[in-house]
Structure 1
Amino acid sequence: MLDTPDELQLDEVVWQGLHRFLDTYADLKSDDHVVIAYTPDSRTYAAWAALACESRGVEASLVFMAPLRDPWFCERLAPLIPPESEGRLILLTFEKHTMSHNKVIKTLVADRSPETYRVVRTINASREVFTTGVETSPSLLSALNTTVIERCQAARRVRIRAPGGTDLVATIDSDKYQYKSSRGVHIPGKFMVVPPGEVATFPASISGRLVADFALNVNVLFEGDVRLERCPVVVDVEDGAMTRFSCENEEMSAFLEHSFSRPNAKRVGELGFGTNPAVSTCLPENSHLNERVPGIHLGFGQHNQTDEVAGYACDIHIDLCARGGSIWFDDDDEPLDLENVPPSKNTHPSLISGEDVFSDDAEDDCCGMLR
């Protein structure tokens, strides 16, 4: 899907979002060294970020990277990484469809103290990442995610219902399966992925019906319209696997039929809850921003655990997202409304991974995008 002229227009709303991104996510200071890496499909967004840095008196170095395979990226990036003694490094990356070269970046910062660098990786770069995706502060997202995690960790059984017709019953095993918490909070030594706003885990068991009436998000190239508001995908799930699905959109139905035919792609690998209150409108293109809408989504195929823990492997991840929803925990009569989550006053739980996006490096091609 090609970017439209409106998509590429740097207006005041985008400009404010850029500075919010630099302030609250990149934590940019006047004496930082900024390097911006970008793929060809995201050069505009990289240029915007460089302009915003320049307006603050910080000159950013820009470096091109080919998506997935780029044998010379390390040679181009390495000279731009300053010695630790010269100050903090802020490395920003922008990509449209991929998350490339994690290994290269990790190698180049491996000898630095974690406090002397920050890596912020933007996936599905678009104007909406700046106008919507980073509108909510990391502190609020952290508090919202904490509420969801606390309620899940205290329960064994959950029932999830959504206005579109979703009705699921799942068993949660918080001792065995780890949580993912995307909240935009910097953890020294870790890479931050934006747009943020999600809690996810692996369901020990799950059955029922998902009516995905918001969006599809998938980790393979898909150039169709991912919006599902007019043509929901209805999925029946039994014992942790899809048994049947339907969708009136022929293109979407054909894509899902092909995707679900891959080994283990019918398995539910993720029980996810979007938590970003700024997300309300679905983008037509494949985007993690759609997955952040307050609501329930199931990820089929690739899971968010280790293969040993999950018990299988899969090279495709199919997120089907529903808007809104409520969660009943065990025998509690009062559900948690996903569109009105009260922020927790407690500290975000430790030992929770902050990343929900894997690298598409050609060396391991974990997302299957090269097929």
Structure 2
Amino acid sequence: MFDAIDRQNTHAIKIDRYRDQDVIPLWVADMDLATAPVVQQALNNRMAHPVYGYTHPWPELNRAVVDWCAREYDWAIEPDWIVWLPGVVPSFNLAIQAFASGGRVIVQEPNYPPLRHAPAHRGAVPVRLPVVFDGERWIWDWAHLESELADPNCHLMILCNPMNPHGTVLTADDLERLGALCEQHEVVLCSDEIHCDLRLDPECQHVPAGRVPTLSANSLTLMAASKTFNVAGLGCSFAIIPDADLRLRFQAVGRDLVPHPNFLGYCAAEAAFRDGKDWLVALRGHLRANREHVAQVFNSLPGLRYRPQPATFLAWIESDLEVGAAMRHFVKAGLMPSDGKEFGDPTAVRLNFGTDRSTLERALTQLEAYWRQKMPSSS
């Protein structure tokens, strides 16, 4: 089901950016895997109609999201809480403009580059919240977080949960504690949960921010089918905003500025959330096996360290090497991960293992051979 797919000549960013280099692209966060058959069929059916005009969301689409949230997250939402958008990145940028223009915005770090840069791009002040490994998972210092939330100029926190690049999933206790702090200090929480359906450990549960009582009136929960079902190129996501006033403020800043989602993105989302669960279960098994293989190889190589977490198809590879050295050696070995400096840690790299097993085997074999031969500490 998850065999190699030839992406050449599809104008894929992942392939074309390094077309002239002899490297295996394992960087940008889309998968090299075919989307679910139910999604393919829905897109084929819609494309068979020859008019591709303006399209608005329809009741069955919203119902698919409502039912998905109920089944997957025990979260009862209303259809009118859903705000459709062309992507999660414009969504959290809009949140800054709506709730924190000119103020302070808390962003955990290391983090996804567009999220790190969004406050400055929108005229706000980024407040870096370091995330560190506590022996089991990546988490921030709660006293530090509370001191930042208490600043009178802090009006917004942008959370990334599950964490990108780490893969940590916050617990219900974490979210309740965070919600109480946000409520106390009157800080809006914008929660980027685009990887929430990619929980690879069966026992792992995800709690959407908006499901937490203390966050229901001051939060935006950002979700999409894009990462989970590998349809990011269709430009479609949604925010779930329970509070009507908050929802109107958010919508107002994007009016006539942010385009509607691609209509094919709507079609893909409806099919994915309505009928894609069986495929997703199989995908999780495939990615879980890939993650285990990545961990086995990297934790056998001197100077490198990978601490697997419950979610995402992304591996955060730490190194004991000098700044920038890990990225240089990966490229020399014929691999192109994402450079950790873009995430806030120039000693690390982020590797995308959302690919077929043969490609992953080839990449890891190349790296292992290079590392054991070329790295001085490997002897």
Q: TM-score, normalised by structure 1?
A: 0.31
More strand by share: 1
Bigger relative CO (Cα 8 Å, ≥ 6 apart)? 2
Q: TM-score, normalised by structure 2?
A: 0.31
